[in-house]
Structure 1
Amino acid sequence: MKFSVFTASTPDWTPQQAVSELSAQGWHGIEWRVTDQADAREPGFWAGNKATWPMTGLEDSLPEIARLTSEAGLEYSGLGGYARCDDHDGVERVLAATAALGARQVRVNVLPLGNSTMGGQEPSGLSYPELFDATREHYEWVAGRAAHHGVKALVELHHGTVTASASSARRLLEGLDPNHVGVIHDLGNLLIEGWESPLPALELLGPYLAHVHVKNARWVRADERDEAGAAVWVNEWAPLTEGQGSVLAYFKALAQVGYDAWVTVEDFSTDLPLTERTAGNLDFLRRAAALAGLTVNASLPAGSTSKG
């Protein structure tokens, strides 16, 4: 098993700072965020993120992405793409970029639910069956293009989309080649929508379990009540050690199904400063992995940076 960080969760760092900090802390790899984003006065996870590579001009950025990653001694756990499966031009570009970098796998987003405002877009109003069928049709095309480039396209389990659960993702990909399509199982997202007990969910995914994202969340009671007078609960991101999901129990389930690939952290909590947060997360992941009986690959010693 290897540990990496998705740069959506490192908005204060430039790409150079990101690779230097993560390498010095002893992480194995990095998962670069790739998308065109809005500007912001202050760096944020979703706007003004300094560690994001723009989709516009991505091909021209590939040599610099490769240089920074390699010189820091880091590997790619994949690319954190935002191209949606119905954007065939965008998907083709991120698949080609993944192949060119040797990053092996990249997230290709599925369609949002008909009542979703994800990404600031207006709700489509389409029914779930319509959206699911359309996503399947697009993903059949994605699978073919991923095979052409020799990489894997990843479906993320994400609230507000047609694949919030492992069950829905397995149904979406059933019959497609698991060498070229797979699923990102995400502990934190599932606490918001799509929760299924981890062990049977991982078993259900079988050969489609390709990647793991770890973050944590919790539900808190809001001050207001709804129109019927009932309590209102809202979700918020939490530190890995403070959310409702047990990372240790999750790792034990991963161990039971024999998962030994990448675990990528995307911690959107802000309780601690970024450097302290990432370093503390790595220490915690190592402890949890050891207790779960998982074998973690050797990594760079903290405080050192490889130039290989």
Structure 2
Amino acid sequence: MKFSVFTASTPDWTPEEAVAQLAEQGWDGVEWRVLDQQDAPEPGFWAGNRATVALSTLTESVPRIRELTAAAGLEISGIGGYATCDQHDDVETLLAATAALGAERVRVRVPNLGGAPYPQLFDRARRDYAHVAARAAHHGVKALVELHHQSIVSSPSAALRLLDGLDPAAVGVIHDLGNLVIEGGEEHRAGLEMLGDYLAHVHVKNCAWRPGEPAADGTVTWSHRWEPFASGQADVHGYLRLLQELGYDGWVTSEDFSTTLPLAERTAGNLAYLRAGVAAPVAG
């Protein structure tokens, strides 16, 4: 396995700072966040993220990002795009840039829940992803569906339904450990096995469900919170051992949105924790 960091989780660093820090810490690669984001008074994961590449200038930014990454001795594990499969022009920009960067894979999102009944959303996304698959094949890259809560594809089963019949050389799935704690959490062995050739990438983060204060009638509402790798509900080391056992040898990308530790300490500690997980003996 090779380890990278998604720059959604490094909001305080510029691209130059991100590659310098990650290379010094010993990471193998970086996954670039690509989005025309909102400004913010302070850097944040979702707005004002300083390590984000603007989609509107992505084509012109390709040489700089490619050279910046290579000069640091890092690979590009993928492109973290935010365009949805129905935004054909933006998807085309992402696919072409992914090919030019030599990144091989790019996330192309599916619709979130709401706005229309689920069957309508799903059927439209099936048609759109067939188009995405054809364009990805044209560019020689792979478009990835991420298992994500509150989207139409929160589980491996839903991802298989969406991609059924499409070429796994052109489309694949990001299996996301932390998102599956929130929603779509099929047993991991079963989920990974059912994805088969569609398993193309792995994201690792962790979270936990926490109870709120009881309402006047005694009702308790629970909410999830991002946690460090070692302290969330998911067993990260067990997950890595399972990936090894099943023969997965691709990228494992960290996107830790916890804030217990300062960013540099957090990323360095995460790499050590991930490496310890794959160094552990595989059961059986």
Find the counterpart in structure 2 of residue 29 from structure 1. 29
Residue 78 (structure 2) pairs with residue 78 (structure 1): yes
Are the equivalent residues in 2 in contact too, given 1:5–1:264 (CA < 8 A)? yes
Alignment of 1:255-270 (within 5 A): 255-270=244-259
Find the counterpart in structure 1 of residue 177 from structure 2. 187
Separation in 1 of the partners of 2:243 and 2:58? 34
What is the CA distance between 1:231 and its match in structure 2? Answer: 1.3
Find the counterpart in structure 1 of residue 164 from structure 2. 174
Residue 149 (structure 2) pairs with residue 154 (structure 1): no
Find the counterpart in structure 2 of residue 236 from structure 1. 225
Residue 240 (structure 2) pairs with residue 251 (structure 1): yes
Separation in 2 of the partners of 1:51 and 1:172? 31
Amino acid at match of 1:28: D
What is the CA distance between 1:256 and its match in structure 2? Answer: 2.2
Question: What whole-Å deviation, never above 9, does each CA across 1:13-53 have from its counterpart, x for those lacking one?
Answer: 00000000000000000000000111111100000000000
Question: What whole-Å deviation, never above 9, does each CA across 1:117-137 have from its counterpart, x for those lacking one?
Answer: xxxxxxx1x111111111100
Separation in 2 of the partners of 1:242 and 1:292? 21
Separation in 1 of the partners of 2:109 and 2:239? 24
Alignment of 1:38-77 (within 5 A): 38-77=38-77
RMSD (CA atoms): 1.1
Q: Which stretches in structure 1 are left out of the alignment for 5+ residues?
A: 115-123, 295-308
Change (3 A) 1:283 1:224: same
Separation in 2 of the partners of 1:90 and 1:292? 44
Amino acid at match of 1:167: S
Normalising by the residue count of structure 2, what TM-score does the alignment of the two structures yield?
A: 0.98
Separation in 1 of the partners of 2:138 and 2:282? 37
SS of residue paired to 2:222? strand
Residue 131 (structure 2) pairs with residue 141 (structure 1): yes
Runs ≥4 in structure 1, deviation > 4 angstroms? Answer: none
SS of residue paired to 1:41? coil
Separation in 1 of the partners of 2:41 and 2:276? 37
Question: What whole-Å deviation, never above 9, does each CA across 1:70-116 have from its counterpart, x for those lacking one?
Answer: 100000111001111000000000000000000000000001111xx
Find the counterpart in structure 2 of residue 217 from structure 1. 207
SS of residue paired to 2:253? strand
Question: Greater relative contact order (Cα 8 A, min sep 6): structure 1 or 2?
Answer: 1
Separation in 1 of the partners of 2:278 and 2:97? 32
Amino acid at match of 1:56: S
What is the CA distance between 1:261 and its match in structure 2? Answer: 0.3
Amino acid at match of 1:141: H
What is the CA distance between 1:229 and its match in structure 2? Answer: 3.5
Separation in 1 of the partners of 2:145 and 2:131? 14
Question: Structure 1 vs Structure 2: percent identity of aligned residues?
Answer: 61
Normalising by the residue count of structure 1, what TM-score does the alignment of the two structures yield?
A: 0.90
Separation in 1 of the partners of 2:110 and 2:3? 25
SS of residue paired to 1:84? coil
Separation in 2 of the partners of 1:80 and 1:180? 16
Are the equivalent residues in 1 in contact too, given 2:245–2:282 (CA < 8 A)? no
Separation in 2 of the partners of 1:160 and 1:80? 18
Amino acid at match of 2:191: A
SS of residue paired to 1:223? coil
What is the CA distance between 1:257 and its match in structure 2? Answer: 1.5
Find the counterpart in structure 1 of residue 19 from structure 2. 19
Separation in 1 of the partners of 2:233 and 2:18? 28
Separation in 2 of the partners of 1:16 and 1:240? 26
